[in-house]
Amino acid sequence: MNPFKKLGLSDNTVAALEKKGFTDPTPIQERTIPMLLSETTDIVAQASTGTGKTAAFGLPIIERADESVRAVQSLVLAPTRELAIQVADEINSLKGKGRLRVVPVYGGQYIGMQLKSLRQGVDVVVGTPGRILDHLNRGSLDLSNIDMAVLDEADEMCDMGFIDDIRDILSQSNPDRQTLLFSATMPPQVMRIASEFMGDYKTVSVKPKKNEAPLTSQVFHEIAESDRFEALCRVIDAEPDFRGLIFCRTRADADEVASRLAERGYPAEPIHGDLNQARREHILGKFRNASIDILVATDVAARGIDVPDLSHVVNFALPQDPKTFVHRVGRTGRAGKEGKAVTLIAPREYRKLMFICRTTGMNIAKEQLPRVEDVIYNKKTRIVGQLDEIFATEDFETYMPLAREFLQERDAEQAMAALLRYAFGDELEEQAYREIRDVRHDKQGRRGDRVRMIVEVGRKQGMNPRKFVDFVVNKTKTRPFKIQNIKVQNHQTVFTVPDQEVKFILRGLNRGGGRPMCRKG
């Protein structure tokens, strides 16, 4: 039996899921859907974005809808207009052949269109608190008959100051409704909503298992401030299928970075609060249909944007606080797919990044920027792949006569090389890439010297990078984050430490006399 069918979903809904390529429910769906189909108990669910929570409440909304009722049956509140649009689109895509009428309402959209849709009758309204409250005050929206109210991303709504609007909205809705609260975190203000507007609710919490490997790998590159943009381009070029969200600190920065990327031929657009809603929706639409592969965003503008299949998040600039860093990184490595978070810092920002890591408990490894030869290798791989796709489709018949004519008096290999040069310019020329300096920091976070060290222990002695760091820390009392660029070999390990740590490393590892096991390299 289809796994979704076992949850109690109808054949129509299961068929819609199969059409979308969904074969197995996520943990939050497995736990929530059966409860919502068989009970009317309120539910508080803790689940991060990207875990399938929209379908967890959207599928029961579809199953429980009565097409004969001419009134709003379900309400979904979302913190941002982008998320409201996405939730409405997702529910529409899951309804299959059902005639469920779903309408998103949010600020920034012409209200006349919303008034017309509401007059014609809808089953599900998905909206932002401010615009929902506006319609209630106008008398254009009636929530007295709703069967279900969903608060999506409740912690975000509280952070954005919507708690009073939520109180007003819920107080004007059917008191016998079922209320569902979904939130990634459960701060006091979220639980206050639960205690104030929900009955004897049940709690559902889905968290990663402790022994599960994180789906998002994290690295940082330490570069000179003047090389920051060049380093960003290197990160993008090094990945054959880069599809990413780049975070800047200000709107002006987002505009500048997106513009500079576009000038270099990267398919990039900015997303920030100065853009009108139509422009924002147009840009997000281009990203979803893969017309562009890079969004350059500010933190505020990115709130609620659920862009699918991100391979990368790049912190072009560090955020102001650790919580924002967590939210940024969490936008990739979702829905069971692996992702990578890359952070670019100047030496003066090193201490701030280490503070963020300690505060959040995140592990982030220092790596050197991809080498020019790595970038060129990946570009060659991408070019060959694109040519193979064209070759497989045989969609080049129009060019065959020209090809035959061109090859009559020319060497085939040289002709192919000339065509590649014509198509890709100097992309494979090493001299087209500017050198990026490798910089170091001292204990104050300024630029400083690091010293290469060699220790006579390696894989044969059971070492790996993590065990090696523990080994050095236990012997020398050096702070773990000072031990970097570790390369474990068969019988020795190479690493670097700040210059001022060298004497402590040598003294601690060579204590006891005899043949020294540690030396400068």
Q: Under CATH, what is the fold of the domain 216-372? A: Rossmann fold (3.40.50)
Just give the CATH number of 450-520. Answer: 3.30.70.330
- The whole-angstrom separation of Cα 326 and Cα 349 is 17
Q: CATH 3.30.70.330 residue ranges in the chain? A: 450-520
**pLDDT bucket at 394, cuts 50 / 70 / 90:** confident
Q: Which of 174-183, 228-237, 353-362 has the least mean pLDDT?
A: 353-362
**pLDDT bucket at 299, cuts 50 / 70 / 90:** confident
**pLDDT bucket at 210, cuts 50 / 70 / 90:** very low
Top-level class of domain 3-205: alpha beta
CA contacts within 13 A on the Cβ side of 139: 0
What is the value of pTM for the model shown? 0.59
- Which of 366, 381, 458 is closest to 427 using CA atoms? 381
Question: Does residue 211 surpass a pLDDT of 50?
Answer: no
On average, the pLDDT of the chain sits at 85
Question: Does residue 442 surpass a pLDDT of 50?
Answer: no
Q: CATH 3.40.50.300 residue ranges in the chain? A: 3-205, 216-372
pLDDT per residue as tens digits for the range 112-159: 999 999 999 999 999 999 999 999 999 999 999 999 999 998 888 887
pLDDT at residue 306, rounded to an integer = 66
Q: Residue range 81-99: average pLDDT?
A: 87
Q: Packing angle between helix 350-360 and helix 322-329, nearest 10 degrees?
A: 80
Residue 118, CA distances (Å) to 2, 111, 122 in order? 36, 11, 6
pLDDT at residue 143, rounded to an integer = 96
CB atoms within 10 A of CB 286: 15
List, edge to edge, every strand of the sheet that includes 450-455.
Answer: 484-488, 493-498, 450-455, 518-520
In degrees, rounded to 5, the angle at the alpha carbon of residue 48 between the alpha carbons of residues 47 and 52 is 80
